[in-house]
Amino acid sequence: MPGRREVPVDSGAGPVQRFAGESRKLRTEAGGLTYRVLAQRTGYGVTTRSQAAAGEQLPTLPVVLAYVTACGGDAAEWEARWKQAVDEAAALGSEDEGEGGAPPYRGLARFEPGNSGRFSGRD
């Protein structure tokens, strides 16, 4: 989008962030296509591409393949990269959860001050 700057993604931060950084590089190598042009070529909205490039969550495989094709990339190569990122993210998630760990949601039970480790964004 004109006037919009992408926030740098730390490619060493994790598989999702690395994937986002690699997809940004592909877009740059394709001539720096704007999100608007990519949206027109793929049928996916500007927001979808923007969220994928932010590195906060992994886009779905159909979204990845549409954008790779629009940028002239190798779909088979990017499908393999995506699957690797999914596997790495799942492995990291299972390490964080541990066996028999408490679920992150308390259901209908209210949060108490002792539950502060289960949520963020508030003091």
Task: Profile the chain (123 residues) by mean pLDDT over runs of 10 residues.
Answer: 49 82 92 89 87 85 93 95 92 61 66 69 58
Residue 68 neighbours by CB under 8 Å, 6+ apart: 23, 26, 74, 75, 78
Question: All domains of the chain, ordered by start, with CATH?
Answer: 14-79 (1.10.260.40)
What pLDDT score does 1 carry?
42
Q: What is the pTM of this model?
A: 0.65
What pLDDT score does 103 carry?
62
Phi and psi dihedrals of 114, rounded to 5?
A: -70, -10
